[in-house]
């Protein structure tokens, strides 16, 4: 079709297939049962864990979730909340050390109307940001460019997450 740009993103195929087959399974609960590397889990503590976002907003976008399946922060016990926040802190440090971002967006979307794609299992997004990472592509073409494959980013980040876990947890 003339004027239509095609972006080749073969890594998304597995998501499309899985999404149609597993509509009701929580990705966080599934990640806890799967092989850590397959699920892209960077670090796990007793009450919380960090995993890569398979469909990131930016390179290095991770999600920090409690082990317990709850929908909102106010449902967490204090020890769960503390561990969740310790892993957010660890994530900031590890990503800063490996990827050298200029800043971060850190946030929680609670409920579908607030933007939660997975509304039944609360999680914190940690998104590294760089000067110039907002450009004309999303505005003009409706496209966000992620310059590195998520699995490559995982391979780069995991050793730092693991080494920091010894002192953060």
36-88 pLDDT, tens per residue?
Answer: 999 999 999 999 999 999 888 889 999 999 999 999 999 999 999 999 999 99
pLDDT at 107: 95
Cα separation, 114 vs 110, in Å, equals 6
Which pTM does this prediction carry? Answer: 0.80
Inside any domain, residue 85: yes
The overall average pLDDT reported for the chain is 85
Inside any domain, residue 38: yes
Quick check: 169 pLDDT over 60?
Answer: yes
From residue 119, give the alpha-carbon distance in Å to each of 114, 123, 147, 150: 9, 9, 28, 23
Bigger pLDDT: 19 vs 123: 123
Inside any domain, residue 128: yes
Cα separation, 144 vs 95, in Å, equals 20
**What's the token pair of residue 166?**
């010894």
Report yes or no: 51 and 31 within 8 Å, Cβ to Cβ: yes
Inside any domain, residue 4: no
Q: Read off the CATH number of the domain in which 40 is found.
A: 3.30.428.10
Residues annotated as catalytic (active site), given as ranges: 123
* pLDDT confidence band for 139 (50 / 70 / 90): very low
For the ranges 11-15, 91-95, 108-112, the lowest mean pLDDT is seen at 11-15
pLDDT at 18: 56
Inside any domain, residue 156: yes
Quick check: 161 pLDDT over 50?
Answer: yes
Q: Containing domain of residue 100, as a range?
A: 12-168
Inside any domain, residue 146: yes
Residues 6+ apart with CB under 8 A from 55: 12, 15
pLDDT at 5: 60
User: What is the number of structural domains in the chain?
Assistant: 1
Report yes or no: 101 and 62 within 8 Å, Cβ to Cβ: no
pLDDT at 25: 85
Burial of 136 (0-12, 13-18, 19+ CB in 10 A): exposed
Inside any domain, residue 7: no
Inside any domain, residue 131: yes
* pLDDT confidence band for 131 (50 / 70 / 90): confident
């Amino acid at each position: 079709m003339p004027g239509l740009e095609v972006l080749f993103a073969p890594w998304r195929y597995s998501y499309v297939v899985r999404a149609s087959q597993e509509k009701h399974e929580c990705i966080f609960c599934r990640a806890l049962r799967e092989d850590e590397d397959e699920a892209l889990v960077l670090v796990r503590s007793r009450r919380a864990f960090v995993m890569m976002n398979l469909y990131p907003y930016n390179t290095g976008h991770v999600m920090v979730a409690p082990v317990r399946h709850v929908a909102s922060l106010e449902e967490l016990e204090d020890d769960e909340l503390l561990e969740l926040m310790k892993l957010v802190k660890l994530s900031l440090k590890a990503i800063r050390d490996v990827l050298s971002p200029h800043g971060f967006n850190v946030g929680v979307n609670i409920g579908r109307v607030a933007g939660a794609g997975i509304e039944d299992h609360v999680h914190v997004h940690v998104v590294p940001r760089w000067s110039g990472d907002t450009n004309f592509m999303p505005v003009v073409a409706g496209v966000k460019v992620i310059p590195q494959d998520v699995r490559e980013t995982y391979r780069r980040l995991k050793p730092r997450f693991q080494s920091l876990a010894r002192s953060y947890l």
